[in-house]
A and B are shown apart, each in its own frame.
Chain A
Amino acid sequence: MAASAKRRRGWRKRLGALARFTGALVIVGGLYSVFSPGLYAQESEAGAIDADAVKGQELYDTSCITCHGDNGEGVEGRGPSLIGVGSAAVEFQVNTGRMPMAAQGAQAPDSDYPVFTEEEAEWLGAYIEYLGGGDVVPDDLDALVAAGTVGEGGELYRVNCSSCHGFSGGGGALSSGAHAPSLSGVTNEELYQAMLTGPQNMPVFADNQLTPEQKADLIAYVQFIVNDDRDPGGVFNLGRFGPSTEGLAIFLVGMTALLLTTLWIAGKS
């Protein structure tokens, strides 16, 4: 009895030591992973090339390599290096039909008919991710957007975005033939990717400038004004261009209708 009890106590002691040791390891490991730069963790994850990246590489070598070069290193005067741009940038450019670009110009135009499917874009993204890591879109983006505050998003939108995309998200002209596109019909994911990676002429809004939550607020606002605002002022919103199209409307609709009326009234006797 006594011996067995003693043995049992020793067990417990050893078990306790093990628990303490594990606990200490977890704390140290946790602290390490908190304070160490995130890049290391990602690199160790993506050490070996996976199946998706291999498929991505096949596509890359046939469709992208002309301008972006071997292993995404870039070609002087044709296309920038893609090392470190991340899957967010790749998926944005490919899914919106901007890449592959048909011809060099002021700006790659977006297209409703992208060359690759979304799955293929993911493979390409995986390959670029394999080459040098980079920015990715959070998995729970839609939940983040659903939790976003539209009001805060509006304030952020007016300060950061309206100077190019306009108050109503209709887009606007930029210098030398470039333009800021309209934001209608753009998915949450694409909006996030665009802010994160700054495609074409757009500046990068990295996470230290706009946190993921702020980006989600912004997306919630953009989706509101584009989809939910529904233009309470009338059946026609005149493209939301403001006074330019309003001025056109008063002459083409109002004045024209009344000029016809003058002809009618003056003809009556």
Chain B
Amino acid sequence: MKRRKGTSDSLLTKAGGELDDRFKLAGPARVLLNKVFPDHWSFLLGEIALFSFILLLLSGTFLALFFEPSMVEVTYHGAYVPLQGVEMSKAYESSLDLSFEVRGGLFMRQMHHWATLLFMAAILVHMLRIFFTGAFRAPRETNWMIGILLFWVGFFEGFFGYSLPDDGLSGTGLRIMEGMTESVPFIGPWASAALFRGQFPGTDVISMIYIIHVFIFPLILLALITVHVGLVFAQKHTQWPGPGRTEHNVVGFRMFPNYVMKQVGFMLFIWGVIGAMAGLFQINPIWLFGPYEVSVVSSASQPDFYVMYLDGLIRLFPAWEFRAPPYFTLPAVFWPAIAGMGLSVVLPLLYPALERRFTKDRGHHNLLERPRDNAARTSLGMMVVVFWIIGVISGGNDVFAEKFHISLNAMPWAGRIGIVVLPIITYYVTYRICLGLQQHDREVLAHGLETGILMRDPNGRFYEVHQPLAEPDEHGHTELEYNGWVVPKKMNRVGALEPADKGFFKSIEEPSDNGGAERRDEIESGKH
């Protein structure tokens, strides 16, 4: 009976104490568990990429057990009837076996591919959030650059991944990469010959990119992600301005238990979405593409979406070939493919430094900016977004032309004109929208909320009743300063009408009569 005296709680305490005696855990653990994270939906976007990456490692390990990175020619005798008796590489054969004969193989393949698309999509969306809120500003420029590198390493990791099965589509992608490599002045042909060990496609490229895909690049990604997340811990997360929030504190939830629970739940949700997509949506049906043959190029051959804008730039760029006889030719593909990709790497990397230089803003920023409050940056970002979207659409312009019954000849011209003109228009329109939103915030702060109540004075003049946010001075102005956060724009936001209802799918708090019935009656009577 005496031994039962200790509760489980004290047992845990004892175990913790023993561990701490040996490993000195309590200090670091306390710091970690008590770390505070600000809570906002837009701060969870990077996690989508992070948890997709973990799933990529897991599903990729499964695929690596069955995939054979070999270009040895074999004759297919597997389960898929239309390819029986067809000559193909061992890589393609093992990908087919993985899809049709390994239990759960097709599901894992599709999960790996959907997780890749989600990884890249989440990186893009996360990057937009960081950009538009100014989270990349000092002291976080390094982490922004690491993020950009993560995108580009992921870009090539994905490209190599869909090249591995050696099907008709992946071979077409490699062919385009060969063309791009060869367009580099002077070293191009040598670089291409080194990559393919001679003529395209050769017999070695699959085994080479296999090692890059399953070992080297995942290692680089893992290292970069570790530093990326570590820097967020070390430099602390940015937060929105608001009551009690300054440049020198962080308001939010503790790591344990609140934040950890949310993160685990979110991770499972992300994996669930990827699993559902892998089960419901067919992706990359390699059995339809057939083995790669140099003579086979299908219509509607597109790369994955994150590569598609480069394909689009190549499709849009005019055939301007530069020749300096007798030896030198600079093919047109160099400009969109090599110069275009180079700029897409360098300009984002340099952006924080460029912004510092042009705005002369040398301060440290832990509070975020609302996109409307930095109209120039927001407009610049929207310009890039529009440029990118036109590039992506142009990358699939044959599919677009066919499905929307547009002439294929009109598509490149629409793209060429659009990619020059639309970003400029976008800049102007976004700038005006930002200024308008800023103005309206200031207006509400100065004059109060629009109540929707129209009054008529004895002179016959109509006016709308405004509800000031603070005690107005003799001119009817309220001297409230804009603090960089949401200004209430509706009566129910300040508790004058039906109270705000919290909760996403269903109400999580009972509506209260918040402020008394008289005030509400007063306003309702004004409506008549």
Give chain A's interface residues, CB within 8 Å of chain B: 106, 149-155, 158-159, 162-168, 170-177, 179-180, 221, 224-225, 229, 231-238, 240-251, 253-255, 257-269
Contacts and interface: CB of A to CB of B under 8 A. Distances in A.
B285 A243 contact: no
Interface of A: prevailing SS: helix
Contacts of B300: 166-167, 170, 172, 241-242, 244
A251 B388 CA distance: 15
A95 B274 CA distance: 45
Contacts of A232: 99-100, 106, 282
B44 interface: yes
Contact of A221 (B82, B399, B401, B408): B82
Contacts of B295: 159
Contact of A257 (B84, B117, B266, B273): B273
Q: Closest 9 A-B residue pairs measured CB to CB?
A: A247-B305, A233-B282, A172-B299, A244-B396, A266-B41, A173-B402, A250-B117, A262-B41, A177-B407
A173 B408 contact: yes
A236 B299 contact: no
B266 A167 contact: no
Contact of B270 (A245, A258, A267, A269): A258
B322 interface: no
B283 interface: yes
Given A159-B295, A263-B504, A240 B288 contact: yes
Given A234-B110, A236-B281, A265-B44, A167 B169 contact: yes
A172 B402 contact: yes
Interface stretch (B118-126, B342-350, B354-362): B118-126
B298 A236 contact: no
B283 A168 contact: no
Contact of B305 (A250, A260, A266, A269): A250
A65 B490 CA distance: 71
Contacts of A225: 82, 288
Interface of B: 39-45, 48, 81-86, 99-100, 106, 110, 113-114, 117-118, 121-122, 125, 168-169, 253, 258, 262, 265-266, 269-270, 273-274, 277-285, 287-290, 293, 295-306, 308, 392, 395-396, 398-402, 407-409, 502-505, 508
B290 A269 contact: no
A202 to B, nearest CB: 13
A23 B383 CA distance: 87
A158 B281 contact: no
A151 B88 CA distance: 12
Contact of B398 (A173, A224, A258): A173
B407 A176 contact: yes
A265 B47 CA distance: 12
Contacts of A158: 168, 290, 293, 296, 298
Contacts of A231: 282, 285
Contacts of A269: 39, 253, 258
A243 B504 contact: no
Given A229-B288, A234-B280, A255 B118 contact: yes
A260 B504 CA distance: 9
A180 B299 contact: yes
Contacts of B289: 167
Contacts of A258: 48, 118, 122, 269-270, 273
Contacts of A267: 41, 502-504, 508
Q: Which of A179, A235, A237 has the most CB of B within 10 A?
A: A179
Contact of A150 (B41, B82, B169): B82
B298 A243 contact: no
Nearest to B398: A173
A158 B294 CA distance: 11
Contacts of B110: 233-234
B42 A262 contact: yes
Contacts of B502: 267
Contacts of A176: 407-409
